[in-house]
Amino acid sequence: MRNSVPSYLDLMQNLPENKLLDRQKFPNLVIVGATASGKTTVAYQLSKVLGFGFIDIDQRIAEKTGRSIPEIFAQDGADRFREIETEILESLNGILNHVIVAGAGAIETPKNWEILKNIGPSIWLATPIAEIVSRLIK
């Protein structure tokens, strides 16, 4: 994974802008994947290559609540976390030219999945489980 991301981004940087992304069809891109799959890293780099803004849903949730994601889960539970996540996603209505990072859990909630589909196409960042485990134990 680490080796493939830079080469992919290098390839994208060398494409003519009109070949890179049809901004009419793809006004935003949503990156989803498992914990430690590299979503934030890839999405941030991709936003720079595309000249798009970058939004991390978990970061927005932490900013809104003044608490970390683990604190929200521990104090309020998963259902409340998903409610806050929905509020953040709904606030993105009409946003254009952004790469948005959403955790794997966001697509487990039907309402959130519908919102994400309306924001833009979703790309599942497939990372081998061995790589995820390696990152989590570091």
Residue extents of the structural domains in the chain: 21-137
Are 128 and 1 spatial neighbours (Cβ–Cβ below 8 Å)? Answer: yes
107 residue type, one letter: I
- ∠ CA(98), CA(32), CA(114), 5° rounding? 80
pLDDT per residue rounded down to tens, the chain (138 residues): 444 444 445 545 555 554 455 555 668 999 999 888 899 999 999 999 889 999 999 999 999 999 999 999 999 999 999 999 999 999 998 999 999 999 888 888 999 999 999 999 988 888 888 888 888 898
Going from the C-alpha of 27 to that of each of 95, 117, 118, the distances in angstroms are: 8, 12, 10
Q: Which fold has domain 21-137?
A: Rossmann fold (3.40.50)
Is the pTM higher than 0.85? The answer reads: no
Report the distance separating Cα 109 and Cα 77, nearest Å: 15
